[in-house]
């Protein structure tokens, strides 16, 4: 079992295995390292011939075996990537257990021209490769790469590169300030950079911009606020709203966040009525399992009519803030009281 530094060191030496499992919480970091490996093994001109991707949520063992057994065309290696390999969870359904059992046996004797790559996204930070029996078993025959947090210097450099990829001008001091304020997770960092890019369009991003947009624990706070609304806890909801406004004097941003949360609850509710399950939401919204489960539990406290009305309350408040000179704090509190009146 190796980390990113160990993986890069082996790659530089040309020590390439016949099989890999990339795992961790940061999907962006996992994908980046897989792409580095793929590009080293398959020239660009042969990518369509000798590179195949399979969805771990729908693929079968026969699909994986057939892809691995197919000889490469005009090249030395055939690379097969199985993404969203959720059958590598410690506990799965019967189909997942069967697929894992077949794969764990097959990887003992992979064809010499095939490189099988799988990646598994952890549900939360409590999950580690050393606690997962399936990963420990596969580590005997494949290289298990734990894509954990980057060390500080590399973390700052990677953050700066992501701003540059967006064509954004930002100073080194601002990059470091930004990187220290967000979690060391490039899925989150990518979303926050896109948010800053839109907000500071046409000019250099400043520390003030970062402070305004990246207020701490925002998503958890919005979730808690909606939870208080569902429980009719007026006093706690008002206290939390005041705290949000104190931390970030961005009324429009807070209203938009609440509105977007209600919209997501509405979408989840609709998909649930169509029989969709947790794996679907994890894939569609690119969220960890525990987050999807929290949202599912919360959306069940509202019906579709209520959620539609709650979205309208937010839209009305947003329009009033845009068009009137009334006190913003009062408008926000009125909006909150109106949410409690929705039945």
Distance CA(71)–CA(323), nearest Å, equals 65
CATH of domain 152-213: 1.10.8
pLDDT at position 216, please? 47
| CATH 1.20.272.10-classified regions of the chain | 218-341
> Which token pair is 71?
């000889």
pLDDT at position 329, please? 81
pLDDT at position 215, please? 46
Distance CA(116)–CA(59), nearest Å, equals 14
| CATH 1.10.8-classified regions of the chain | 152-213
| CATH 3.40.50.300-classified regions of the chain | 2-146
Q: Tell me the mean pLDDT per 10 residues along the chain, length 343.
A: 91 92 90 94 93 93 96 91 92 90 95 95 81 93 91 86 84 87 79 82 82 64 86 86 70 83 93 92 81 89 94 90 76 89 86
pLDDT at position 218, please? 62
Distance CA(249)–CA(251), nearest Å, equals 6
Taking domain 218-341, whether its CATH number is 1.20.272.10 is answered by: yes
**pTM passes above 0.75:** no
Q: Which one of 3.30.390.30, 3.40.50.300, 2.20.25.90, 3.40.50.1820 gives the CATH number of domain 2-146?
A: 3.40.50.300
Burial 182-204 (b: 16+ CB within 10 A, else e): bebbbbebeebbeebeeebeeee
């Amino acid at each position: 079992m190796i980390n990113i530094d160990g993986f890069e060191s082996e790659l530089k030496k040309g020590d390439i295995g016949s099989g890999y499992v990339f795992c961790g919480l940061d999907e962006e970091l996992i994908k980046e390292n897989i792409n580095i490996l793929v590009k080293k093994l398959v020239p660009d001109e042969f990518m369509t011939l000798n590179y195949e991707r399979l969805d771990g949520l729908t693929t079968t063992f026969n699909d994986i075996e057939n892809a691995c057994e197919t000889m490469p065309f005009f090249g030395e290696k055939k690379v097969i990537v199985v993404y969203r390999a959720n059958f590598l969870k410690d506990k799965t359904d019967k189909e997942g257990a069967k697929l894992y059992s077949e794969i764990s046996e097959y990887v003992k004797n992979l064809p010499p021209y095939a490189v099988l790559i799988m990646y598994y996204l952890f549900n939360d930070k409590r999950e580690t490769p050393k606690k997962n029996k399936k990963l420990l078993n596969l580590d005997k025959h494949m290289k298990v790469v734990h894509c954990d947090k980057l060390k500080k210097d590399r973390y700052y450099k990677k953050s700066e590169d992501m701003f540059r990829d967006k064509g954004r001008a930002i100073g080194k001091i601002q990059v470091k300030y930004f990187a220290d304020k967000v979690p060391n997770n490039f899925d989150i960092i990518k979303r926050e950079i896109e948010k800053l890019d839109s907000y500071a369009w046409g000019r250099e991003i400043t520390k003030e911009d970062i402070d305004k947009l990246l207020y701490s624990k925002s998503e958890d706070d919005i979730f808690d606020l909606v939870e208080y609304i569902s429980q009719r806890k007026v006093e706690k909801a008002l206290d939390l709203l005041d705290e949000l406004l104190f931390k970030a004097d961005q009324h429009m941003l807070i209203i938009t966040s609440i509105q977007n949360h209600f919209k997501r609850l509405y979408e989840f509710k609709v998909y649930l009525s169509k029989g969709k399950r947790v794996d679907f939401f994890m894939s569609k919204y690119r969220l960890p399992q525990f987050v999807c489960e929290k949202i599912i539990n919360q959306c069940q406290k509202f019906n579709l009519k209520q959620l539609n009305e709650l979205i309208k309350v937010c839209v009305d408040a947003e329009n009033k803030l845009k068009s009137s000179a009334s006190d913003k704090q009062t408008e926000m509190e009125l909006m909150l009281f109106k949410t409690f009146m929705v039945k």
